[in-house]
Amino acid sequence: MAIERRALVLNQNYEPLNVCAVRRAFVLVYHGKAEVIETADDRIRGVDTDFPLPSVIRLHAPVKRPRPRVRLTRKEVFARDDQRCQYCGISGIELTLDHVMPRHRGGPHEWENLVAACRSCNHRKGGRTPAEARMNLMRQPVRPAATPAALFGQYLERYREWHPFLLGWMDRSKRSAAAAS
């Protein structure tokens, strides 16, 4: 259904801000707060008029916002760890989340304490630290950078018309990260 689609919202300078429901994007355009940059193939049918379905909109006024952060979810932890167990390196199996410092021992539920682990490694480690279980992490867990790839990458396959607006920002963030290091 067309109304279930999502729309990419760009700041006045074409920086990707967020993703919203098409209904919200249509309301922003209708009230003159945004302009349609790209449309989808579908249309919104009114009583006597058809409107193009917005897929990418640009706000007329610039929006200042705090630095975005990648949400802490299972899916995002697995993506950060390249779908691999961080103890044995195996991939292509069902993964679980493991707290490096177990929660019952005061370990927080945050990026720096969570890794992807296969069931056997997670069971072997149990309620111990990796050192106590004599297991080594392949790499230390860190909070991923909030790049456009991390924030909007999940939409790239479904919404091809967003590519010109997201891929340019992804390239810029890679260049700036390389210059900083």
**Strands of the 34-45 sheet, one edge to the other:** 16-21, 6-10, 50-59, 34-45
Give the position of tokens 């932890």: 77
Is beta strand 6-10 parallel, antiparallel or unpaired with respect to 16-21? Answer: antiparallel
Q: Please give the Cα distance from 60 to 81 (Å, whole number).
A: 38
Q: Quote the pLDDT of residue 160.
A: 86
Q: Quote the pLDDT of residue 173.
A: 52
Cα angle, residue 148 at apex, residues 142 and 149 outer, rounded to 5°: 70
Average pLDDT on 71-94 reads: 92
Q: Quote the pLDDT of residue 92.
A: 84
Average pLDDT on 132-153 reads: 88
Partners of 39 in the β-ladder:
54
Partners of 116 in the β-ladder:
97
Give the domains, in start order, of the chain with CATH numbers.
Answer: 2-67+146-180 (no CATH), 74-125 (1.10.30.50)
Is a pLDDT exceeding 90 seen at residue 168?
Answer: no
Is a pLDDT exceeding 70 seen at residue 1?
Answer: no
Helix (H, G, I), strand (E, B) or coil at 84: strand
Q: Quote the pLDDT of residue 112.
A: 96
Is a pLDDT exceeding 60 seen at residue 14?
Answer: yes
- pLDDT band at residue 3 under the 50/70/90 scheme: low
Residue 173 — φ and ψ, nearest 5°? -70, -35
Q: From the CA atom positions of the chain, what is the Rg in Å?
A: 21
| Helix, strand, coil percent content, the chain, rounded in steps of 5 | 35, 25, 40
Average pLDDT on 108-120 reads: 96
Of 137, 155, 118, 123, give the one whose Cα is nearest residue 20: 155
